Chains A and B, each alone.
Chain A
Amino acid sequence: MLAGSSAIFLFVSALLALALLKPGLGANVPPKRWLVWGGLAFPGVVLSALLVFALATGERLLPHPGTQAYTVEALPEQWLWRFRYPGGGESVGTLHIPAGQPVDVRVIGTDVIHSFWVPRLGGKIDAIPGHVNTIRLTADRPGSYGGVCSEFCGTGHTGMIFTALAHEAEGFEAALAAVLSGEAPR
């Protein structure tokens, strides 16, 4: 999109420069040509292509019921992140996930609106009181990924960050159990 946008911007700038530097250059261009080519055909083609691409990409990123995914719950509140795992265990400030497989995070609204975002793992989804939204993430390899609240939520908004910790898939259950029982650092 950046390349396309730059090209369009340069094209428009060039037309503008020509208008100022070579006055009268376009005196013989019939007005309809500006309308049909510039106003209709050009954006029409570019935008249609973009929309098809966007729909396909969006579908690829979304959680679909058919696929198997590890599911955790995120319960953000002013101003901390609480995560709940299938067994009922909870952690605060750190989200533990298995690497190399899709993870569905069920983001549950509690007090005010927050938004769950781990920039390196995917898009963002809002936590809206009274609603539950699901987002699918995949961490390709184990590691620590920064996460933030991206919807303004009051005076503590800036500090409302968390870490997504991706563990090796094989030892994930054991690692999680260790963390939740307090044996390993949270």
Chain B
Amino acid sequence: MSQVDLPLVPGDVAEPASGDAALPPKLTAAQRGLERIWATPPGWGRLSSVNHTVLGRRFIVAAFVFFAIGGVLAMLIRAQLASPRSAFVGPDVYNQIFTMHGTVMMFLFAIPMFEGLAIYLLPKMLGARDFAFPRLTALGFWCYLFGGSILIAALVMGVAPDSGWFMYTPLSSNVYSPGINADVWLLGVTFVEISAVAAAVELTVSILKFRAPGMTLAKMPLFAWYILVTAGMMLVGFPPLILGSILLELERAADLPFFDPTRGGDPLLWQHLFWLFGHPEVYIIFLPAAGILTTMIPVLARREILGYSWIVVAITALGFLSFGLWVHHMFTVGIPHLAQSFFSAASVLVAIPTGVQIFLWLGTLMAGRPRMSVPMLFVVGFFLIFVCGGLTGVMLAIVPFDWQAHDTHFVVAHLHYVLVGGFVFPMLAAAYYYLPHVTGREPLYGVGKLAFWLIFLGFNATFLVMHLTGLLGMPRRWAVVPEGYGWDWPNLVSSIGGFVMTAGFALFAADVLFQIRFGRRSKPDPWGAETLEWATAIPPRPYAFAAIPAVSSRTPLRDRPDLGAALERGEGYLAEPRHGWQETLVVGIADGRPEHIAVLPRPTFLPLLTALAIGAFVLSLLFKLYWLSPVALLLVTGLLLAWSGQAGQRQDHGPLSAGMGLALPLHAEVERPATWWGMLFLLVADATLFASLMFGGLFLWLVAPGWPGPAPLDLPWTPTVGLLVSALAAALLGRAALIAVPRSTRLAAALLVAAALAHALAAGCAILIAATAVPTPTLHAHMAVSVAVLGYVALHGAIGAVLAGLGAWRCLAGYVSAKRSADLRTGALWHGYTAAATLLALGFLVGLGRLAPLRELAVP
């Protein structure tokens, strides 16, 4: 990608959609050049966009559309429960409605919404022109959109999931949910989760590496810290759910009994995997919202945030704590009381880092001079509602209280106080706060205030009284309200409140549309904020910064109020466009010293096509067209390989000018470019998935009825040794290729071909072991787990073979040289991980086989 053909930008300069006369001053020649390089093509070309501003907006709009769908479902629930013995819909439809309400709000609204906000804002806050992996952002968006569409299409066709958003098995097993409904959930949500994992890798690498020079970790805006912790949590929080979904789908489709208690499985394993994800999920949703509050509160209070470093410590603690308390969703499943008390203590402990944040925000507000505005109104709404939700959360963490309140409407009230208070209100505040940034238009506040009061009062009317409904004993998920228990009037009040709240949201949507259409041009930094995102033009240009600033404090705009104008004039790094490259700076993780220049990929349809191919794979599984699945999978592999052709350099450039007298190498010529870091964090998520699988095996061994299984597992000698040797050989050959590169790229290519063959051999051995040692995996969970572990190993061997082959091709095609060896280093990470995982897997299989008969000793 040394020279790229530049498409002409229509009208030479891509104007923002409206074509307003009062645009910022004429663009400089450099800016026009940047515009041409970074612009998303018009027409159908829009589908090829990889730009963070464009994709961030699309994520936010799509999430809001799904929010509206989820809201309509909520209204149907409230219509059903408004009066006793309502025959609005039958229980079969009602079950679909509440299952989809939860699923849509959690997976299709909350997570994509903050992803969108982070994607839109973070590069601008950090002083980068885009994220590390723009095409991955686009792939994530399409996977999210297609996965979500599958779920909504199922809803429209009346075959939506109906086993609850938590999908407890055996209710969701093929015995008790024989239809397609549960498959829609398992496959659709997993499809969407691809985007969550992609976003987690993207955000982690970008926050750590893609910042303005001088922005050390300690000078990052707090929002970046919040998202960094969130992304880290996503890397280890989502794999258990993905694994659980895969295992349950395998049980439904191939009868592998992971959760079937009659064959050594255990329904409790699903609950552990689900809540191991599900509880951190609550903090994954709350932390970004808290991050945006921490961004807005000091600006609105006109006072710097109190306790920057304490907040960092508090949210890091929260991130770790949140993985130690999933069992509080399971206080009634019969876990020993002392163990429950441990999780209860861990649960209430979360109140401490949360309390630290709340009081530091209050302190900031009290120390400053807050001005009343619509964002501030929503911040106040957040405080009042979220604190209530936190307090009822502590109540529910108290074991004996939970035995009473669990699965009643009290919990429904609590979780809405937490999620609406802790997420929706901050998002609404952020919407009004950042609207001028997105649209470049001045906010108008008359309607916003009315919307706030409708939402705030409607919310409390709905959910405050719902605490009472729950304490009066009404269980969750009842399709009708029976008469004579005193449950009728609180339900009616809730329903009325719900409709008031909906009116508020409708007004909000109308208000936003009106402001986009009719608002007046805003001045550059309407709130007087001091962070970098307000140094861009508003609405932002596709390249975000005409020049990349140097940063020396947490408040660059206070240091230099005219920074935005200076950057427009090109006073900064990388101000001169060249070669049609999308360039941005990459810095050292801790010290923020510029390290190299990253050349980012330009708009391409590959992410869209790849997502379509993945969609075909998902649909083939959904409709049980298994002959199509391998075809789709080959297509996905082929398309992903095509991504590689657009990345990298075919010649050595040496240090290039980055402006301001600085010369830096290109990303292809450094030891650890973003791809290396991306692979590392992807492997963290991958290892978590593998660890969850092994946890599952050990859990079943210890807890499930019907162990040990019918016959002990014997690993056949020849293929086992073959697997071990070839996996290790692949890792060593991958390393050797890296060492060989300076001498000869042809030798390196040959070594990589050998590595690919070794990987393929390892995958073959793993399949052979599974076929000979576990002929009937449907017999017992021990067999099923063994096959899953061997399948994991085989899959990694197969991917390793493809990656090694790709490395060999890149050596021969000129992408690799003595200086440009990072590709092979990134591949070596995979080869090394695969060898380690294979070793661990074999140890696990042998160990589980030896342990199986010993369970009597562990469980008297």
Contacts and interface: CB of A to CB of B under 8 A. Distances in A.
Interface of A: 1, 5, 8-9, 12-13, 15-16, 18-20, 23-27, 29, 31, 34-35, 37-40, 42-44, 47, 50-51, 54-55, 57-59, 61-62, 78, 109, 111-113, 115, 117, 119, 122-126, 128-131, 133, 148-158
B348 A152 contact: no
Given A115-B332, A158-B91, A31 B307 contact: yes
Contact of B369 (A24, A35, A112): A24
Given A9-B387, A131-B268, A150-B475, A55 B341 contact: yes
A130 B704 contact: yes
Contacts of B362: 12, 15-16, 19, 34, 38
**Interface range for B:** 35 or more
11 contacts: A19-B365, A24-B368, A25-B366, A40-B352, A51-B348, A117-B407, A125-B403, A130-B262, A131-B333, A133-B334, A154-B95
Contacts of A27: 366-368
A20 B372 contact: yes
A24 B402 CA distance: 41
Given A50-B394, A113-B170, A154-B176, A124 B403 contact: yes
A185 to B, nearest CB: 21
Contacts of B394: 1, 5, 47, 50
Nearest to B386: A12
Nearest to A31: B306
A45 B626 CA distance: 59
A8 B306 contact: no
B92 interface: yes
A126 B300 CA distance: 48
B356 A35 contact: yes
B705 interface: yes
A58 B402 CA distance: 10
B340 A58 contact: yes
A130 B705 contact: yes
Nearest to A112: B171
A150 B95 contact: no
A125 B360 CA distance: 40
B392 interface: yes
Interface in B380-402: 380, 383-384, 387-388, 391-392, 394-395, 398-402
Contacts of B353: 39
Given A5-B388, A12-B362, A58-B341, 15 more contacts: A13-B383, A15-B366, A26-B367, A27-B366, A34-B360, A47-B352, A54-B344, A54-B401, A58-B340, A112-B170, A123-B406, A124-B406, A131-B334, A152-B164, A157-B91
Contacts of A150: 406-408, 475-476
B224 to A, nearest CB: 21
A154 B340 CA distance: 28
A115 to B, nearest CB: 6
A57 B401 CA distance: 9
A62 B336 CA distance: 10
Nearest to B472: A119
Contacts of B356: 35, 38-40
Nearest to A122: B403
A170 B420 CA distance: 53
A166 to B, nearest CB: 18
Given A12-B362, A50-B398, A24 B407 contact: no
Contacts of A50: 348, 394, 398
Interface stretch (B54-62, B477-485, B533-541, B577-585): B477-485
Contacts of B370: 19-20, 23
A39 B95 CA distance: 41
B337 A62 contact: yes
Contact of B360 (A39, A57, A62, A128): A39
Given A42-B355, A130-B266, A131-B705, A157 B341 contact: no
Contacts of A47: 348-349, 351-352, 394
B579 to A, nearest CB: 49
Given A24-B367, A126-B332, A54 B399 contact: yes
Contacts of A78: 176
A157 B478 contact: yes
- The interface centre, meaning the residue of B362, B475, B476, B480 with most chain A CB atoms within 10 A of its CB, is B475
Contacts of B366: 15, 18-19, 25-27, 29
B404 interface: yes
- The interface centre, meaning the residue of A42, A43, A122 with most chain B CB atoms within 10 A of its CB, is A43
B473 interface: yes
A50 B372 CA distance: 37
A9 B332 contact: no
- The interface centre, meaning the residue of A9, A27, A31, A78 with most chain B CB atoms within 10 A of its CB, is A31
B358 interface: yes
B407 A130 contact: no
Contacts of B478: 157-158
A59 B383 contact: no
Contact of A61 (B349, B391, B400): B400
A13 B368 CA distance: 17
A57 to B, nearest CB: 5
Contact of B480 (A8, A16, A23, A158): A158
A125 B334 CA distance: 7
A125 B402 CA distance: 11
A101 to B, nearest CB: 21
Contacts of B383: 12-13, 16
Contact of A130 (B261, B352, B359): B261
